[in-house]
C-alpha cells in the first residue's frame, strides 16, 4: 500500500513528500511536533495532544496554521488514507520557509506536515511484560524543555547512549543529580511505601500527555502520586521504576545502569499501571488527559 503524507495542503506519496531547503524547521529546528497514538482506529488523548500543540506554538510565537477543526479533519484523513488502525500520527509545524535569518520573519507562513505510521501493540506488550532497562546520562538540553520542539539532538544523543549500552531508554540527570525525564519518556519511581513519584512540570521537562492521563487513571484507582524531583540515588533505591510515553504507554523498568530494580521483574504497581492503560485504550474513553494542564 502506498503511504500518503499531508504536506502544506497536499496529500503526497510518502516517498515524494519533501520540505524546502529554507524551511526554518530544517535550518534552525524552528518548529514543534506531536506524536499521537492511534488504537483501534481512534486517537488516544487527541484533545490533550492538541492542547499541548497549541501551547508549543504559542510559546514560540508561531501562528496557528489552521483551525483545530481543519487540523482534526486532516489527521483523520491521513489515518484513513494510510489505513492505520494501530500506530501513530506525527504532526510537525514549523515557522515555514523564509530567507535565512536567525530572527523570525515578519509574516511567517507555517509549514504543516502530517503523516501516520502503523505499529501494532506486540512490542509494547512484550516490553510491558518483561520490563525494559534504562541508563542514566547527563541532561544536556536547553532551558525550555516544556516546549515540544523538533530540536531533539541532546535527546537523540542520550537515546543513542542507551542503544549503545543495550538499554531501552536514558533517564537524564540535571546538574543537581536529580532525574529530569527520559530522552523521549517521562520517568517515574514507586517508593518503598508505594507512592508514585514523578518530577513536577517546569521548564526542565516535557509535560507528557501519557503522564497526565496516568494521573487521571491513578486518581480513580486510589494510587497516591507525589510530584517532586527525585535523585539518581533514589532512582537506584526505588521499589519500582517505570516510564510513560505515547509510544510505549507505561513500561516497567527492571534495571537502571548496573542496579537491578526489585527482583528484576516488573513490580506489582507498575504492572497494575500497565493494566490501567491497556483497559483505558481498549475502553470507550479516549481523552483522560484533556484539560488537565494546558487549558
Ligand atoms: N516523545 N519527554 C520527552 C522528552 C518526550 O519526547 C516525550 C514524548 C515524553 C512523553 O510525552 P507523551 O506522553 O506526551 O508522549 C516525555 C514522543 C513519543 C516522541 O518524541 O516520539
Asked whether residue 271 carries a pLDDT value surpassing 60, the answer given is yes
Mean pLDDT of the chain: 97
Question: What's the gap in Å between 4 CA and the centre of ligand 1?
Answer: 24
171 CA → ligand 1 middle, Å: 13
Q: What percent of the chain has pLDDT over 90?
A: 97
Whole-number pLDDT of residue 212: 97
Q: For 4-33, write each residue's pLDDT tens digit.
A: 999 999 999 999 999 999 999 999 999 999
- Which among 146, 245, 289 is the best mutation to test ligand 1's pocket, defined by most ligand atoms within 8 Å of the CB? 245
User: What's the average model confidence in pLDDT over 187-194?
Assistant: 97
* Ligand 1 centroid, distance to 206 Cα (angstroms): 7
Q: Which residues line ligand 1 (CB under 6 A)?
A: 35, 155, 181, 184-186, 206, 208-211, 244-247
The three cell numbers locating residue 135: 541508563
The separation between the first and the last C-alpha atoms of the chain, rounded to the nearest angstrom, is 39
> By three-state DSSP, how is residue 138 classified?
strand
pLDDT at 294 over 80: no
Nearest alpha carbon to residue 266 among 279, 278, 257, 275: 275
Cell 521504576 -> residue? 241
How confident is the model at residue 57, as a pLDDT? 98
Inform me whether the pLDDT recorded for 110 exceeds 90.
Answer: yes
Q: What is the set of active-site residues? A: 148
- Could you tell me which of 253, 245, 12, 1 has the C-alpha nearest to residue 112? 12
For residue 79, the model assigns a pLDDT of: 97
> How many beta carbons lie within 10 A of that of residue 165, not counting itself?
14
Percent of the chain beyond pLDDT 70?
A: 100
pLDDT band at 295 (very low <50, low <70, confident <90, very high): low
Among 119, 164, 136, 130, smallest CA distance to 251 is for 130
Query: Which atom of ligand 1 lies nearest, measured to the CA of 145?
Result: 4
pLDDT for position 143: 98
Answer yes or no: pTM beyond 0.95.
yes
Instruction: State the average pLDDT over residues 212-235.
Output: 97
- What is the mean pLDDT of the segment spanning 263-292? 95
pLDDT at 291 over 90: no
Phi-psi region of 131 (alpha: psi -120 to 50; beta: other; left: phi over 0): left
Give the CA distances from residue 251 to residues 9, 65, 198, in Å, rounded to whole numbers and listed in that order: 37, 35, 14
Are 285 and 39 within 8 A, CB to CB? Answer: no
Mean pLDDT to the nearest integer, 256-276:
97
Residue range 91-107: average pLDDT?
98
Q: With 80 as the cut, is the pLDDT of residue 293 above it?
A: no
pLDDT for the residue 2: 86
Amino acid at each position: 500500500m502506498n503511504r500518503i503524507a499531508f504536506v502544506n495542503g497536499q496529500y503526497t506519496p510518502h516517498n515524494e513528500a519533501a520540505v524546502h531547503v529554507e524551511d526554518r524547521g530544517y535550518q534552525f529546528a524552528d518548529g514543534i511536533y506531536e506524536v499521537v497514538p492511534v488504537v483501534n482506529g481512534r486517537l488516544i488523548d487527541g484533545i490533550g495532544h492538541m492542547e499541548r500543540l497549541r501551547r508549543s506554538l504559542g510559546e514560540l510565537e508561531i501562528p496557528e496554521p489552521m483551525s483545530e477543526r481543519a487540523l482534526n479533519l486532516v489527521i483523520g484523513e491521513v489515518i484513513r488514507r494510510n489505513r492505520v488502525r494501530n500506530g501513530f500520527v506525527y504532526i510537525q509545524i514549523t515557522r515555514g520557509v523564509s530567507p535565512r535569518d536567525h530572527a523570525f520573519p515578519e509574516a511567517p507562513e507555517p509549514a504543516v506536515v502530517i503523516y501516520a505510521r502503523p505499529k501494532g501493540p506486540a512490542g509494547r506488550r512484550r516490553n510491558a511484560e518483561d520490563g525494559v532497562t534504562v541508563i542514566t546520562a547527563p541532561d544536556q538540553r536547553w532551558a525550555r524543555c516544556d516546549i515540544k520542539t523538533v530540536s531533539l539532538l541532546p535527546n537523540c544523543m542520550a537515546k543513542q547512549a542507551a542503544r549503545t549500552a543495550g538499554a531501552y531508554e536514558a533517564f537524564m540527570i540535571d546538574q543537581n543529580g536529580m532525574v529530569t525525564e527520559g530522552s523521549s519518556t517521562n520517568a517515574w519511581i514507586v517508593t518503598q511505601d508505594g507512592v508514585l513519584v514523578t518530577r513536577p512540570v517546569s521548564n526542565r521537562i516535557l509535560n507528557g500527555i501519557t503522564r497526565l492521563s496516568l494521573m487521571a487513571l491513578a486518581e480513580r484507582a486510589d494510587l497516591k502520586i507525589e510530584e517532586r524531583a527525585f535523585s539518581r540515588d533514589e532512582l537506584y533505591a526505588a521499589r519500582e521504576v517505570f516510564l510513560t510515553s505515547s509510544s510505549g504507554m507505561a513500561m516497567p523498568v527492571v534495571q537502571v545502569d548496573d542496579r537491578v530494580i526489585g527482583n528484576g521483574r516488573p513490580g506489582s504497581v507498575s504492572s497494575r499501571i500497565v493494566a490501567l492503560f491497556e483497559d483505558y485504550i481498549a475502553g470507550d474513553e479516549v481523552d483522560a488527559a484533556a484539560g488537565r494542564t494546558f487549558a
